Structure 1
Amino acid sequence: MHTLNLGILAHVDAGKTSLTERLLHAAGVIDTVGSVDDGSTQTDSLALERQRGITIKSAVVSFVIDHVAVNLIDTPGHPDFIAEVERVLGVLDGAVLVVSAVEGVQAQTRVLMRTLRRLRIPTLVFVNKTDRGGARYEGVLADIAERLSSDIVAMGSAEALGTREARTAPFTAGDAGFTAALTDLLTGHDDDLLAAYVDDAKGIPYDRLRAGLAAQTRQALVHPVYFGSAATGAGVADLIAGITELLPVTGQDAEGPASGAVFKVERGPAGEKIAYVRMFSGTLRTRERVRFRGDGEDDGREGKISGITVFDRGTDDRAPALTAGRIGRLRGLGAVRIGDRIGEAPAKPQTQAHFAPPTLETVVSPLRREDRGALHTALGQLAEQDPLIGVRRDDVRQEVSLSLYGEVQKEVIQATLADEYGIEVTFRETTTICLERPAGTGAAVEVIDREPNPFLATVGLRVDPAPAGSGVEFRREVELGSMPFSLMRAVEDTVLETLGQGIHGWQVTDCTVTLTHSGYWPRQSHSHAVFDKSMSSTAGDFRNLTPLVLMDALKEAGTTVYEPMHHFRIELPADAFGPLVPVLARLRAVPRTPRTRGRVCTLEGEVPAARIHELQQLLPELTRGEGVLESDFAHYRPVEGPVPQRPRTDHDPLHRKEYLLRTLRRVAGG
């Protein structure tokens, strides 16, 4: 049986979880369609999801349609949980993007579609809620064409919109307007079809048009659009037919080398790790020992599979093996992490960093002082399940900071800590996460056995700026054999760790750090005596010296602090534009030239991420409640005015005396 790994994506409240329920009902998996409002859906299993009526964690359910096993992954729609969507994208064969027939294309819809198109994931569009008041047909199609993709074609008509009797009818070969639209769309991407259209006065045969539609949809060149209602079931049968006809299915190479990707990790009732894995080829079996690794080099992690659960026909049953094309849960891999590859590298590798990282940060504190240790453990486990929740521990102030996408995510973490771990917490006011980039080139060196260097190590480093978005690269100008590799690795690891806090306390990125000098004392001992550490260099010497050298080089180079900027798009009454302008200026926004159509004005521009929440709060009053705001991360720009400082959580190598006091005291204590 062929397999299709299908993602359901949408802006929050567009109805994707309701669509998932309707698909399960149509496939015979459930007898009654669940309700998001009642908390009775299959995929929203968390108590918090049922209470809030939103999807927080991605969920998998399997069913069979037309001899194709569909592994359907329901993803969160709220932008605060975009990290859940990111992890799913790497294991999808195709996607259904849900759009509301009432609200049309919304902010998150655009973010998702841009990403789906960039990754070339075959995508169908389902316009939901045709039974709701205010539902539109032509207007939504125009909205999709203008703001998502012009390469679309409506696959059917819709009648009685805005009523419970709303219904749809698929277009056929007899619909001249449909075949003409299909011909125009497909010939724009296929020269052979264009030649056939020019040569044959009768036009392209309908069967060839359908075949061309399937081929171009599978190449993510075009996006068929279906209308319907998940609430009433209207149009869902047509969507199901489109899923099996137009999206790519995969065979099962169960005999090939084992290759899979981990896209989700959760904890079981006993605290054990459970890894969600999509298999690309081969077979994994219970009690088999497997290796897994991240995107970097193989770090030697491995584990023995103690149990396998496979998603099949609406259930998740224990099984002896997990075969190619399937999605299952593995137990026993205690060191596994989200994004790991199991076995051989998959033919379709997981792509990382589809979305921008979190730009907000807050300090979390337990209400009871005795919960500090438990809080750190709990946050560590939550970060395993969501790697983009950055946890920073400040041992000096006894504080823990979290990086987040938004206020809703903060509320969910607070509720999760209370419900699942019994820890009541409070949060400080959310602040913006900035970053630092080197402004120029700087170099520093400290030589072994030469003042003021107290460590048995020679380290020289040069810091050079690199293009924006390139990250951090470590290079060597010294010969690889000039000292043991373990000591060089200690320098490299410490450089990457130290760059987490630059001159102003923010993470340093977009730079190249080069090891220019190295030196060490070989392992020595007194005559007939054991190893004497006071005469021999150790990795600890290099780990302790490197931060001092790196910060000296960074101070010489200088750094510029950058703040995250959001792109915004506001639709508002034309007469409300004037009062909005001074507010945007106060928020340090940079608007572009507005566009006006009749009574509606559209304004785009950029605003600091720190001010977007305030803009959301002010907009209703400024626009009589008619303003609509979309925003998403755009880029980083240099901070204007006073440079924000972030409290340090390390031993502060910027201040040599204090750093040496703390470091040498720690070494002596060890």
Structure 2
Amino acid sequence: MKTLNLGILAHVDAGKTSLTERLLHDVGVTDQLGSVDAGSTRTDSLALERQRGITIRSAVVSFVLEDVTVNLIDTPGHPDFITEVERVLGVLDGAVLVISAVEGVQPQTRVLMRTLRRLRIPTLIFVNKVDRAGADPERVVRAVVEKLTPAVVAMGSVTMPGTRDAHCSSWGPADAAFVDRLLDVLAGQDDGLLADWVADASAVPYPRLRRALATQTGRALVLPVYAGSAITGAGVDALIAGITELLPAGQGDVDAPVSGTVFAIERGPAGEKVALVRLFAGTIRVRDRVRVGAADAALVTAIRVASLGADVVASSVGAGHIARLGGLTEARIGDPVGVPPERAGAGRHFAPPTLETVVVPARPVDRATLHAALSQLAEQDPLINLRQDDRQHEISVSLYGEVQKEVIQATLADDFGVRVTFRESSTVHVERVCGVGEAVEVIAVAPNPFLATVGLRVAPAPTGAGVSFRLGVELGSMPPAFFVAVEESVRRTLRQGLRGWEVPDCEVTMTHAGYWARQSHSHGSFDKSMSSTAGDFRSLTPLVLMAALTSAGTRVHEPVHRFRLEVPGDVLGTLLPALTRLDAVPTDTVGHGTSYLVRGEIPAGLVHALERRLPALTRGEGVLETEFDRYRPVSGPAPTRVRWDNNPLDRKEYLLAVARRVGGR
């Protein structure tokens, strides 16, 4: 049986989880329809999810459509949990993007659609909530064409929208306007179809159009649009038929070498680590040993797969499936399993978190427990960027928004018995290298107290390139472990630049290397005082690197969001000065009847201030959309962040902390 790994994505409150529940009910997995409002949904299992009516963690449920097993993944819609969506994208065969028939295309809808198109994930659009007052499916379809992509085909019509009697009808070969639209959209991507259409439009049979629609949908060239209501069930049968007909099942050879990826980490009832793995090729059986990431091969102790709405124990799992694997104790999110898969869409797709906060335990004695608990949460969400400052005795995490605080707070209290509060959130800046800088310290030459020679050159790298480490010395000039120690120390040190912010993009070249070979006394015992160790290189590298960085110079950059703001025309005169006071820079103002559309950019740290002031500035009629754009140089005094390391910028302080002395040997 074929397998389709299907993601349900949407802006928050578009009805994504309700659609998941409707699909499970209509295909016979559940007898009773789950309700978000009643907290009875199958996929929202966390207490906080049920209380708030939002999805926080992705959930996998399974059902069968004809000869296809569908693994349905319900993802969060709230932008604070965008990392959950990011991890799911790399394992999908197809997606359903849900859009509200009332609110229409919303900020998160745009972000998701851009990513789906970039990753070429086959997608169906479902215009939900056609039964709600104010629903206008035709307006939403026009907005999709205008704001998302013109390559869409509406698959049916809705009568009596905005009422509980809203009815959805599918179009077919007898609907001339529908057939013409199909030809128009499909021929734009198919030269053969275009030639036949030009020669004689009536000679293109409808079955050929449906086959072309399935082909182009599977190649993510065309997006069919369905409409309906997850609550009443209207139009859902047509969507189910579309999933079966138009979305391609996963491909994979069960006899090939094992190849998969870890896209989520959970904890079992006894606290054991459970890895959620999408398998692209091969077969994994219980008691098999598989390699995960860079770690040694691990023994698979348990396999569970989704089946008809429940998790069931399995003895094996084959290509195309998603499974929960036990025994992979060193697994991390993003790790390849077996042979690294060649899959488009690996890596980061969304903006990084731009906020951070200090987590404060209610009782100081809980500090160690808090760190252990947050470490487990960081396994499930690596972008928390857990940081412990042993100097200030503080623990910090990164955030996408304030809702994450509530989730972390509730999880720590419920699952770990640790009550916490948070400091006010602050903006996360970065430092970018300005020029080229070099530094070197030579073994046995004062003031170097370490048995190591390290020379480093630092240069800027393009935005998004990351940190690269290169060797400008012969590979055989030192034991490999010493080079590894230098590179690891370089990457760790660059988490804090000259002003305490991370340096995300730069090239570091090792220009000098030297060591003292292993020394021993006549009786053969090891003389550590006369022999270089990896620890010497780990300790010396931060001093050299920060000296090179000081020579090169860095500049602090702040995160900036693009904004799109629709406001009544008569408030524009008072709005624009208010935007200026918030350091927002309007770049485009366009009139639309009695309203205006203002586009521009604003520092990420001031987005929440704009959101708070907007209702008063626009009589509650302003509609604001924002999303991360880039980092830009800070104007004025550069903000700094308190260091949590041993501060290699202060040589005396650093050596006292690391070597317990301040001079050479």
Give 1:287's aligned residue: 287
Compared with structure 1, are the counterparts of its residues 251 and 656 closer, same or farther at alpha carbon in structure 2 (3 Å cutoff)? closer
User: In the alignment, residue 68 of structure 1 is paired with which amino acid?
Assistant: V
**1:278 has 2:278 as partner:** yes
For structure 1, the residue ranges without an aligned partner over 5 or more in a row are: 294-298
Q: Distance in 2 between matches of 1:94 and 1:114?
A: 15
- Verify: 1:94 aligned to 2:89, yes or no: no
User: Does the Cα contact within 8 Å between 2:295 and 2:330 map onto a contact in 1?
Assistant: no
Quick one: which amino acid aligns to residue 188 of structure 1? G
Within a 5 Å distance, the mapping from 1:164-179 to structure 2 comes to 164-179=164-179
Once the two structures are TM-superposed, the CA of residue 667 in structure 1 deviates from its matched residue by 12
What is residue 215 of structure 2 aligned with on the other side?
Answer: 215
Q: How does 1:562-581 map to 2 (within 5 A)?
A: 562-581=557-576
Helix, strand or coil at the partner of 2:292: strand
TM-score, length-normalised on structure 2?
0.98
Match of 1:296 in 2: none
Change (3 A) 1:184 1:666: farther
CA contact (8 A) 2:292 2:328 kept: no
Does the aligned pair in 2 maintain the 1:302–1:335 contact within 8 Å?
no
**Aligned runs of 1:23-62 on 2, under 5 Å?**
23-62=23-62
Aligned partners of 2:655 and 2:662 also within 8 Å: no
1:289 deviation in Å? 1.4
Could you tell me which residue of structure 1 aligns to residue 429 of structure 2? 434
Does 1:71 pair with 2:71? yes
Q: Secondary structure at the match of 1:491?
A: helix
Distance 1:486 1:210 in 2: 60
Q: Secondary structure at the match of 1:594?
A: strand
- The CA deviation at 1:204 is 2.1
Using the alignment, how far apart are the partners of 1:146 and 1:629 within structure 2? 18
Tell me if the contact between 2:651 and 2:662 (Cα under 8 Å) persists in the aligned partners.
no
Number of the residue aligned with 1:107: 107
Match of 2:547 among 543, 552, 555: 552
Aligned to 2:465: 470
Question: Quick one: which amino acid aligns to residue 171 of structure 1?
Answer: W
- Which residue of structure 2 aligns with residue 416 of structure 1? 411
User: What is the identity, as a one-letter code, of the residue corresponding to 1:56?
Assistant: I
In structure 2, which of residues 378, 382, 385 is the aligned counterpart of residue 383 of structure 1?
A: 378
Instruction: Answer whether contact 1:2 1:252 (CA < 8 A) is retained.
Output: no
| Secondary structure in structure 1 of the residue aligned to 2:172 | coil
1:176 is aligned with what amino acid? A
The 3 A distance-change label for structure 1 pair 189 and 667 is farther
Partner residue in 2 for 1:268: 268
Pairwise CA distance, 1:345: 2.2
Identity of aligned residues (%): 64
Deviations 1:394-439 (A, max 9, x none): 0001000000100001111011111111101010000010000111
State the match for 2:398 in structure 1.
Answer: 403
Q: CA offset at residue 348 of structure 1?
A: 2.7
- Paired with 2:464 and 2:330, the residues of 1 have a C-alpha distance of 29
Task: Name the CA distance, whole Å, in 2 between partners of 1:203 and 1:597.
Answer: 43
Q: Which residue matches 2:296?
A: 301
Q: Does the 8 A contact of 1:2 with 1:67 survive in 2?
A: yes
| Contact kept in structure 2, 1:363 and 1:399, CA below 8 Å | yes
CA deviations 1:342-376 (Å, max 9, x no partner) are 11222436611011111100001101011000000
Q: CA deviation at 1:443?
A: 0.4
Residue 656 of structure 1, aligned match among 651, 660, 665? 651
Query: Residue 601 of structure 2 aligns with which residue?
Result: 606
CA distance in 1, matches of 2:327, 2:662: 37
Confirm or deny: 8 A CA contact 2:251 2:280 kept in the other structure.
no
Matched position secondary structure for 1:592: strand
Question: What is the alpha-carbon distance in structure 1 between the residues aligned to residue 253 and residue 521 of structure 2?
Answer: 62
Q: Per the alignment, in what secondary structure is the counterpart of residue 588 of structure 2?
A: coil
**Could you say if the C-alpha distance between residues 378 and 282 of structure 1 is closer, same or farther in structure 2, counting changes exceeding 3 Å?**
same
Displacement after TM superposition at 1:202 (Å): 2.0
Find the aligned partners of 2:595 and 2:227 in 1 and give their Cα distance: 27
Cα deviation for residue 330 of structure 1 reads: 0.8
Task: Tell me whether 120-129 or 261-270 shows the greater mean CA deviation.
Answer: 261-270
Q: What is the total number of aligned residue pairs between the two structures?
A: 663
* Native 8 Å contact 2:317 2:323 kept in 1: yes
CA 1:107–1:350 in structure 2 vs 1: closer, same or farther (change >3 Å)? closer
Q: Determine the C-alpha separation between the residues in 2 that align with 1:115 and 1:364.
A: 32
In the alignment, the residues of structure 2 paired with residue 662 and residue 255 of structure 1 have an alpha-carbon distance, to the nearest angstrom, of 55
Q: Which residue of 2 aligns with 1:543?
A: 538
Q: Quote how far apart the aligned CAs of 1:647 are.
A: 0.5
Summarize the Cα distance change of 1:464–1:190 in structure 2 as closer, same or farther, 3 Å threshold: same
Q: Does 1:504 align with 2:485?
A: no
Counterpart-to-counterpart distance in 2, 1:444 and 1:565? 33
C-alpha displacement of 1:58:
0.1
* Counterpart Cα distance in 2 of 1:129 and 1:394: 48
Q: Name the amino acid aligned to 1:638.
A: P
Contact 2:144–2:150, Cα closer than 8 Å, also in 1: yes
Q: Deviations over 1:436-492 (max 9, x none)?
A: 011111000111111111111111100011111111111111000111111111111
Aligned twin of 2:332: 337
Q: Could you tell me which of 309, 315, 335 is aligned with 1:314?
A: 309
Q: What is the deviation of 1:246?
A: 0.7
Structure 1 ranges of 4+ moved more than 6 A: none
Once the two structures are TM-superposed, the CA of residue 38 in structure 1 deviates from its matched residue by: 0.3
CA contact (8 A) 1:280 1:347 kept: no
Tell me if the contact between 1:339 and 1:350 (Cα under 8 Å) persists in the aligned partners. Answer: no
Q: Contact 2:119–2:344 at 8 Å: present in 1 too?
A: no
Q: What amino acid does structure 1 have at the position aligned with 2:478?
A: M
Determine the C-alpha separation between the residues in 2 that align with 1:284 and 1:350: 24
- The one-letter code matched in structure 2 to 1:376 is H
Match of 2:228 in 1: 228
